[in-house]
Amino acid sequence: MKASVGDRILVHGAHVDDAEREGEVLETRGEGGAPPYLVRWSNGSEGLVFPGPGAEIRATGS
């Protein structure tokens, strides 16, 4: 998985009733855009993310 600053990350719920989470990639800390990512979530919180198989990156084109 590769991301750039400004890309959107979407994390799908692991279970049927789990909510999806969406956020903006603020930093990429791995080499060449690899994880981990510092993400600002839609609720305003920030955290370091090591995306799993239920995650996808949506490039912003910037």
Instruction: Please count the structural domains in the chain.
Output: 1
Residue 2 domain-assigned? Answer: no
pLDDT for residue 29 is more than 70: yes
Structural domain boundaries, residue 21: 8-54
Residue 44 falls within a domain, yes or no? Answer: yes
- Cα dist. 53→14, 43, 44, 61 in Å? 9, 22, 24, 23
61 within some domain = no
**Rounded-to-10 torsion of CA 38, 11, 35, 52:** 140
24 in any annotated domain: yes
What local confidence, expressed as pLDDT, does residue 16 receive? 76
Q: State the pLDDT at residue 49.
A: 94
What is the reported pTM?
A: 0.87
Residue 62 domain-assigned? Answer: no
pLDDT band at 43 (very low <50, low <70, confident <90, very high): very high
